[in-house]
């Protein structure tokens, strides 16, 4: 079986303008002179009303817009009808898909990973938190077995390299680590989040915030090597849509970047890593001070035992 990459947003727009829109205008008995569907309307349909690798649902939504336009023509619209973003929402209703965007500010323990799905690429946030405990690791967010193993490998690498990273072994032994992937109703699996998991874990233990304009994908082994992954084109396109500026890929995936459109590559700083250290050096900022401990709640006062002034009135 031959796997084919999905269309990019630019490719979908070209297909819509040159093929799908003329077809649907003709099938609904309207002309370009009567109805002008602007590029921003088509882009809105692509990003906010469909989520697919192909264009089948895109054509259906264009057909729905054309039906609405045909009704207005039949009702005797005196001037040519122009359909932009607002008119598209009026005809199709509320957005069905809201694209994830990169986190707005650097944050300790939170990183943007990249995922492949049957309908294309997507960004994936990874959250980690460290708190007093007994050295236990908690994994939540519907992780599959392979992803859980990647998380364990990330933690093991961090522990083995604690001295180099400036992490106190006592802190590791006396802390619990919680790794969570939001959107807990969606199952997630695969090894490609390994490097991102490692960076997030190191960030939490060192209190170094992760740059919010960086996204990382790549498998990790116990030696800290960044191993190749699949779905590179889809993942990089997802990073571009989300406003990411720097994308880290394993060095052995460099050949896969040839498939990415030039206009996307021009907007991104794509870097290649051999080791997780390559990503750590760029993704992490300067350490932040630990938060002030919460004030202790004073214990309730002990009941008095017949002190001065404690006698009941006679």
How many residues are there in the chain?
A: 314
Among 6, 13, 3, 115, CA closest to 58: 13
| Per-residue confidence (pLDDT) for residue 311, from 0 to 100 | 38
CA distances to 35, 83, 88, 213 from 65, rounded to whole Å, are 10, 9, 7, 36
- The DSSP line for 194-230 is HHHHHHHHHHHHHTPPBPTTEEE--EE-TT-BEE--S
| Per-residue confidence (pLDDT) for residue 288, from 0 to 100 | 78
**CA pair distance 115, 264, nearest whole angstrom:** 18
Other C-beta atoms lying within 10 Å of the C-beta of residue 12: 23
CA distances to 37, 89, 179, 262 from 43, rounded to whole Å, are 11, 12, 36, 19
Helix or strand run (H / E) with residue 139: strand 137-140
Question: For this structure, is 17 an active site residue?
Answer: no
**CA pair distance 254, 262, nearest whole angstrom:** 15
pTM over 0.85: no
Using an 8 Å Cβ cutoff, are 218 and 272 in contact? no
Q: Which of 12, 188, 233, 235 is catalytic?
A: 235
Task: Report CA 1 to chain centroid distance, whole Å.
Answer: 29
| Per-residue confidence (pLDDT) for residue 236, from 0 to 100 | 94
Among 17, 48, 47, 39, CA closest to 84: 39
Low-confidence residues in the chain, pLDDT < 70? 1-4, 78, 99-103, 290-314
Question: For this structure, is 192 an active site residue?
Answer: yes
Q: Which of 192, 203, 204, 233 is catalytic?
A: 192
**CA pair distance 176, 190, nearest whole angstrom:** 24
- Radius of gyration over every alpha carbon of the chain, rounded to an integer in angstroms: 27
**CA pair distance 140, 131, nearest whole angstrom:** 16
Give me the domains of the chain, ranges plus CATH numbers. Answer: 9-92 (1.10.8.60), 110-283 (3.30.230.10)
Instruction: Mention every residue, 6+ apart, whose C-beta is less than 8 A from residue 104.
Output: 212
| Per-residue confidence (pLDDT) for residue 108, from 0 to 100 | 97
Tokens (6 digits) for 183: 């959107």
């Amino acid at each position: 079986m031959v796997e084919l990459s999905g269309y990019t947003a630019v490719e979908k727009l070209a297909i819509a303008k040159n093929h799908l829109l003329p077809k649907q205008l003709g099938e609904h008995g309207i002309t370009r002179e009567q109805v002008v569907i602007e590029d921003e309307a088509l882009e809105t349909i692509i990003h906010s009303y469909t989520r697919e690798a192909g264009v089948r649902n895109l054509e259906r939504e264009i057909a729905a817009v054309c039906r609405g336009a045909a009704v207005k023509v039949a009702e005797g619209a005196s001037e040519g009808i122009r359909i932009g973003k607002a008119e598209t929402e009026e005809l199709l209703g509320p957005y069905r898909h809201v694209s994830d965007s990169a986190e707005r500010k650097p944050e300790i323990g939170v990183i943007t990973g990249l995922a492949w799905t049957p309908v294309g690429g997507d960004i994936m946030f990874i959250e980690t938190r460290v708190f007093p405990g007994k050295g236990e690791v908690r994994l939540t967010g519907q992780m599959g077995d392979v992803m859980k193993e990647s998380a364990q490998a990330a933690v093991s690498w961090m522990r083995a390299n604690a001295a180099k990273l400036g992490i106190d072994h006592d802190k590791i032994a006396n802390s619990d680590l919680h790794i969570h992937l939001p959107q807990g109703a969606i199952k997630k699996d695969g090894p490609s989040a390994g490097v991102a998991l490692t960076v997030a874990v190191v960030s939490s233990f060192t209190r170094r915030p992760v740059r919010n304009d960086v996204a990382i994908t790549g498998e990790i082994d116990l030696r800290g090597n960044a191993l190749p992954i699949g779905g590179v084109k889809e993942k990089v396109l997802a990073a571009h849509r989300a406003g990411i500026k720097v994308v880290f890929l394993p060095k052995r995936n460099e050949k896969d970047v040839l498939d990415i459109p030039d206009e996307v590559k021009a907007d991104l700083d794509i870097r290649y890593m051999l080791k997780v250290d390559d990503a750590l050096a760029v993704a992490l900022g300067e350490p932040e001070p630990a938060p002030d401990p919460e004030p202790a709640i004073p214990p309730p006062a002990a009941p008095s035992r017949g002190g001065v002034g404690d006698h009941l009135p006679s």
